[in-house]
Structure 1
Amino acid sequence: MLLCLRIENFALIDQLELEFGPGLNVLTGETGAGKSIILDALDAVLGGKVSSRVLRTGTHRALVEGTFAVNPPLAAWLSEQEIDLIDDNSVVISREITATTSNIRSRSRVNGVLVNRQLMVGLRDRLVEITAQGQTVQVGQSAQVRDWLDLYGGEALIEQRHKVAAAYNAYHQAHQTLEKRRTSERERLQQLDLLTYQVQELGAANLADPQEMEQLSQERERLNHVVDLQQMSYKVYQDLYQNDDESPTASDLLADSETKLNHMVEFDSQLETLLELVRDAQAAVVEVGRQINAYGENLEADPQRLEEVEERIRELKQICRKYGPTLGEAIAYYERIQVELAELNDNEQSIEILEQQEQAFLQYLLEVSQQLTQLRRQSAANLEFRLIAELKPLAMDKVKFQIDISAVAPTATGADKITFMFSPNPGEPLQPLTEIASGGEMSRFLLALKACFTQADAAATMVFDEIDVGVSGRVAQAIAEKLHQLSSSHQVLCVTHQPLVAAMADRHFRVDKQVINQGKGNKTSNGSAEQRTVVRVTSLDNLSTRREELALLAGGKSANEAIAFAESLLLQAANHRQIKEKG
């Protein structure tokens, strides 16, 4: 979740710091007020493309810094990237953009660590999903579209995808074996010599049990402490069963207790259960005493065996240092190189045979991929129906949507190319969504898609730029309710002109432009102070300011009717939240 966004010298923004919260965060303001600049800055800090135009006129350096809440999966991913957390709750991402005489440069940092673009792409996917006018973001990513469809298909489809991955790995291994066989004879002989030596060394070590090291260590401890074990076992025997000084043992005490309970049972049969427990305890003590006595009598010091154990441990440690680091891994390596050595020694196995094996694995891969395709077609039909139902209330009641699944060369994820096909208007043919949909249509499409995939998105923050363009009335209300629905599981940032949408906000920000004087050091040619346009953002934290802004959105001025309408919107939004919370 985005906690804070700090911007310096970015487009019309000189300095700006915004604090966001969970739920639905809305930015409103007149057209051209600078709302999209804020979203552009957020896109930039997450690795989006930038040009020299993002630098504020008269400056050569811009800085955007975002602070995000950290969840356990994100913390684990950052740890894998060797990036330390500043604290357990947040991560700070910054991007510095500087202009030189010939080009523009930028540097991204995560918690102060300089990172490359590839890492920023991975981090962006885990933090924010931005959908703005003219952008296709995740909908245009074929891998993401495929993953969405597979997740929507449920457990059976995911299981089949795992089968395809296993089949592809088997085919890939067969292909690698074939290619390895085609390498030069000199390389084969060099590898043969190495593996022969290793197999002989590991074979001579007689490796069989991955737990042998632990077992030997225990045996060494026992052999090193034979006298102590004998003495302690005899003492335990005396305490439990037979004591040399004729003091009562545990067995004697339990026998005495049994006698007393026998008398007590004559008067109260409820004690029969306790009597049985004492009898069982006495039998157990006697058995323990017998076994510990036999154990102590059988213990013998064996210096020769101790030396054998020590020598074996030294030998296994040497093996682990070379082929481990654990004994289990050394055994697994031994088994693997035995197979490799057999392949290298199999001079009778021709390339033709290996080619036949490769084709057999390929045929199986094609079969399981075809089964995966069938499951995907079923999932696609269900998703098409659901998505069209989600689109209809969003002023897209005539829309046609189809998931096209075409064949491609098989990979670990199947043999399908998946494309979203779309037609917003009656009589128009279906075409790829990313090619035909307008910015507003794309935004509303993704909003509907997110309603279908509320639990499938990894990103904690979803950003929508003017998804309400060209709609009003019930459609705007439907958009507002969908945004509120999404904000129950994700943080949502939304730029809107609709009072119906803005009224649903958990946090409301007003964006506008202001003209300011630069100060004493900046004068025009006639000596007057230089004026500059800047973007300012006001957090509408109280009911009065929110009502005023909603009235402006609704009526263009703070007329009584507009104020009344704004109050009704806020009341309607509050009622909607209460209903959802109770539901």
Structure 2
Amino acid sequence: MLLCLRIENFALIDKLELEFGARLNVLTGETGAGKSIILDAIDAVLGGKVSSRVIRTGTNRALLEGTFSINPDLTAWLIEQEIDLLDDNSVIISREITATVSNIRSRSRVNGVLVNRQIMGNLRDRLVEITAQGQTVQVGQSAHLRNWLDLYGGDALIQQRQEVAVAFSNYQQAHQSLEQRRTSERERLQQLDLLTYQVQELSLANLDDPQEMEQLTQERERLNHVVDLQQMSYKVYQSLYQNDAESPTAADLLGDSETLLNQIVEFDNQLQPMLELVRDAVATVMEVGRQISIYGESLEADPQRLEEVEERLRELKQICRKYGPSLAEAIAYYEKIQIELAELNNHEQSIETLEQKEQICLQYLLQFSHKLTQLRLKTATNLESHLLSELKPLAMDKVRFQVEITPTSPTATGADKITFMFSPNPGEPIQPLTEIASGGEMSRFLLALKACFNQNDYAETMVFDEIDVGVSGRVAQAIAEKLYQLSQNQQVLCVTHQPLIAAMADRHFRVEKQVINKNGNAEQRTVVRVTSLDNLTTRREELAQLAGGKSANQAIAFAESLLVQAANHRHQQQT
């Protein structure tokens, strides 16, 4: 339950700290006094939507902090979310709202740990349920009614709904895969034709050596200069080894040098290494001469081979222009499109296979949705009976109520449209609740609906914002007793204008506006102040104000009677 609420610079509140108690907590005050601001702060600290208007004029930062008691389930959930516990009894939730020039920013923390909106939403559902007049809109929305019905149905229904959600997700994936396959089929065929042509072209080119172009270019140069190469190689042979003229060759000169060095070494063996070098040079020159002779004799003109080389080079250059720019890149591209072509030819699933899968998923979805519908029909019957029993003490014992379930296209939440049907008077046709219920009837209906969830541990704290609108007298008393009944199992916070309801409170707060001088100067500001009415005199005076508008003797007497009546009711309930 909510133990403490601290508010700074929120709407008309400059600074406020409230400590709430167990059971029934009531806030009263004049219209426009700021009662709903307190509830707006509770909503905001738990992640509700806010705008820049919630920040108090003259400031750029609002701070909200709520301290809640925790139970073992909530403790386990906090540990699961990796949120450290401050103690075993409470959790502190804070939200800082900051206004900038262009937008508004807010940060939420749980026990000092920064959390996202999803975690705050989950935590909110575990702590507080807020019922306000605005929920009349929700009563007309099938999605909200479906959630309420499923929540009332309990674990079995929620589990079945989760199975439907999984089945719907599987169906969506199968359907999307089929549609994508159909959409991409034309593109696939076009790509298949293109890759088939390219693979065939590259296959015929017999690409296997990235260095082939360099090798062919070298061969072409050799074939184009056979005569020159023969002549030059012969000249090299003559200069190194043997020539037709009688001039000495390199081998002859080196031989003479070797002879002279032999003679020198006989007298000075220090030159022995030089002699060895010259001998090696003689052998090398003679070997080069023989090799160049063989090379020159092997050269011969081959026009046919030259044409083949030229044609192959032209082919490879064309390939490189289309798939290169280098031959190595063209070969890499060839290997890549072979894999792509294999994937296109061996497509994982044909359209027929995907159609079959979609139908199977659809059948599962319909099967699970049908089971969910059956559970909802059973739950609807229970809710109808339960709600009617809760409405009877609220002076609505003649009403008829029915949960209408009509089939719709299957979604993640099933294949049902939910409508609450209502007839307030005997003999009148049953119609959608939002079209026929008056403001007072809607208020009582919402209260009775929440009373149904009370037995299912709906939330630890229930907040009602003027749930008594449009009612008075005996009906107001019935609402007071119903709120008291709810508060025996849960904490209840209620904003009310009804003295009958306020008299039933375990803790009573008066909310009022005050005009103060800012910082001791002449500038005046309006602030909201909240007073805890802890003694009988202040409570009696507030009830008298609610009943008669002033503390006249008659109003005071009426207020005293209300307090006595409330005390008697509590005593009867406890015994």
Q: Measure, in 1, the Cα distance between the counterparts of 2:13 and 2:164.
A: 51
- Kindly indicate whether residue 35 of structure 2 is the aligned counterpart of residue 35 of structure 1: yes
Residue in structure 2 matched with residue 304 of structure 1 by the alignment: none
Q: Measure, in 2, the Cα distance between the counterparts of 1:364 and 1:11.
A: 52
Amino acid at match of 1:363: Q
Residue in structure 2 matched with residue 472 of structure 1 by the alignment: 472
Post-superposition Cα deviations, 1:547-580, rounded to whole Å, max 9, x if no partner, equal: 2211221222222222222222112212212222
Residue in structure 2 matched with residue 564 of structure 1 by the alignment: 557
Amino acid at match of 1:132: A
**Higher mean Cα deviation, 123-132 or 362-371?**
362-371
CA contact (8 A) 2:131 2:467 kept: no
Amino acid at match of 1:356: Q
Residue in structure 2 matched with residue 11 of structure 1 by the alignment: 11
- Kindly indicate whether residue 571 of structure 2 is the aligned counterpart of residue 578 of structure 1: yes
Q: Which is greater in Rg?
A: 2
Query: Any gaps of 5 or more consecutive residues in structure 1?
Result: 186-345, 523-528
Q: Against the structure 1 CA distance between its residues 94 and 2, is the aligned structure 2 distance closer, same or farther, given a 3 Å change threshold?
A: same
Residue in structure 2 matched with residue 101 of structure 1 by the alignment: 101
Amino acid at match of 2:54: V
Q: Measure, in 1, the Cα distance between the counterparts of 2:116 and 2:155.
A: 36
1:249-264 equivalences in 2 (<5 Å): none
Residue in structure 2 matched with residue 501 of structure 1 by the alignment: 501
Q: Measure, in 2, the Cα distance between the counterparts of 1:506 and 1:137.
A: 31
Q: Against the structure 1 CA distance between its residues 137 and 77, is the aligned structure 2 distance closer, same or farther, given a 3 Å change threshold?
A: farther
Residue in structure 2 matched with residue 54 of structure 1 by the alignment: 54
Residue in structure 1 matched with residue 534 of structure 2 by the alignment: 541
Q: Measure, in 1, the Cα distance between the counterparts of 2:162 and 2:117.
A: 30
Q: Measure, in 1, the Cα distance between the counterparts of 2:62 and 2:157.
A: 47
Residue in structure 2 matched with residue 318 of structure 1 by the alignment: none
CA contact (8 A) 2:407 2:416 kept: yes
CA contact (8 A) 2:421 2:430 kept: no
Amino acid at match of 2:484: H
Structure 1 residue 400, shift from structure 2 partner: 6.0
Residue in structure 2 matched with residue 451 of structure 1 by the alignment: 451
Post-superposition Cα deviations, 1:62-111, rounded to whole Å, max 9, x if no partner, equal: 21111111122222222222221221211111122222223322222222
Post-superposition Cα deviations, 1:451-482, rounded to whole Å, max 9, x if no partner, equal: 22212344211111111122111100110011
Q: Measure, in 2, the Cα distance between the counterparts of 1:168 and 1:62.
A: 42
Q: Against the structure 1 CA distance between its residues 114 and 437, is the aligned structure 2 distance closer, same or farther, given a 3 Å change threshold?
A: farther
CA contact (8 A) 1:423 1:429 kept: yes
CA contact (8 A) 1:395 1:471 kept: no
Q: Against the structure 1 CA distance between its residues 103 and 348, is the aligned structure 2 distance closer, same or farther, given a 3 Å change threshold?
A: closer
CA contact (8 A) 2:419 2:432 kept: no
Residue in structure 2 matched with residue 333 of structure 1 by the alignment: none
- Kindly indicate whether residue 554 of structure 2 is the aligned counterpart of residue 553 of structure 1: no
Residue in structure 2 matched with residue 292 of structure 1 by the alignment: none
**What is the SS of the residue equivalent to 1:453?**
helix
TM-score, structure 2 as length reference: 0.63
- Kindly indicate whether residue 373 of structure 2 is the aligned counterpart of residue 373 of structure 1: yes
Q: Against the structure 1 CA distance between its residues 181 and 484, is the aligned structure 2 distance closer, same or farther, given a 3 Å change threshold?
A: same
- Kindly indicate whether residue 423 of structure 2 is the aligned counterpart of residue 430 of structure 1: no
**Higher mean Cα deviation, 482-491 or 405-414?**
405-414
Post-superposition Cα deviations, 1:191-250, rounded to whole Å, max 9, x if no partner, equal: xxxxxxxxxxxxxxxxxxxxxxxxxxxxxxxxxxxxxxxxxxxxxxxxxxxxxxxxxxxx
Amino acid at match of 2:450: K
Q: Measure, in 2, the Cα distance between the counterparts of 1:348 and 1:173.
A: 16
1:245-324 equivalences in 2 (<5 Å): none
Amino acid at match of 1:387: L
Q: Measure, in 1, the Cα distance between the counterparts of 2:151 and 2:55.
A: 41
**What is the SS of the residue equivalent to 1:418?**
strand
TM-score, structure 1 as length reference: 0.62
Residue in structure 1 matched with residue 518 of structure 2 by the alignment: 518
Amino acid at match of 2:29: G
- Kindly indicate whether residue 383 of structure 2 is the aligned counterpart of residue 390 of structure 1: no
Structure 1 residue 443, shift from structure 2 partner: 4.1
Q: How many residues align?
A: 414
Amino acid at match of 2:502: A
Q: Measure, in 1, the Cα distance between the counterparts of 2:383 and 2:475.
A: 22
CA contact (8 A) 1:165 1:413 kept: yes
Query: Any gaps of 5 or more consecutive residues in structure 2?
Result: 189-345
CA contact (8 A) 2:504 2:566 kept: yes
Q: Measure, in 2, the Cα distance between the counterparts of 1:54 and 1:534.
A: 14
CA contact (8 A) 1:369 1:415 kept: yes
Q: Measure, in 2, the Cα distance between the counterparts of 1:499 and 1:348.
A: 73
CA contact (8 A) 1:422 1:436 kept: yes
CA contact (8 A) 1:61 1:98 kept: yes
Structure 1 residue 450, shift from structure 2 partner: 1.1
Q: Measure, in 1, the Cα distance between the counterparts of 2:457 and 2:514.
A: 38
Q: Measure, in 2, the Cα distance between the counterparts of 1:354 and 1:384.
A: 44
**What is the SS of the residue equivalent to 1:68?**
strand
Residue in structure 2 matched with residue 234 of structure 1 by the alignment: none
Structure 1 residue 507, shift from structure 2 partner: 0.6
Post-superposition Cα deviations, 1:327-385, rounded to whole Å, max 9, x if no partner, equal: xxxxxxxxxxxxxxxxxxx9999763564355245324423422432342343244234
**What is the SS of the residue equivalent to 1:470?**
coil
Structure 1 residue 7, shift from structure 2 partner: 0.9
Q: Against the structure 1 CA distance between its residues 356 and 59, is the aligned structure 2 distance closer, same or farther, given a 3 Å change threshold?
A: closer
**Higher mean Cα deviation, 359-368 or 31-40?**
359-368
Structure 1 residue 484, shift from structure 2 partner: 0.8
CA contact (8 A) 1:168 1:365 kept: yes
CA contact (8 A) 1:133 1:440 kept: no
Q: Against the structure 1 CA distance between its residues 159 and 466, is the aligned structure 2 distance closer, same or farther, given a 3 Å change threshold?
A: closer
**What is the SS of the residue equivalent to 1:508?**
strand
Amino acid at match of 2:501: V
**What is the SS of the residue equivalent to 1:519?**
helix
Residue in structure 1 matched with residue 129 of structure 2 by the alignment: 129
**Higher mean Cα deviation, 47-56 or 358-367?**
358-367
Q: Measure, in 2, the Cα distance between the counterparts of 1:174 and 1:101.
A: 47
Residue in structure 2 matched with residue 210 of structure 1 by the alignment: none
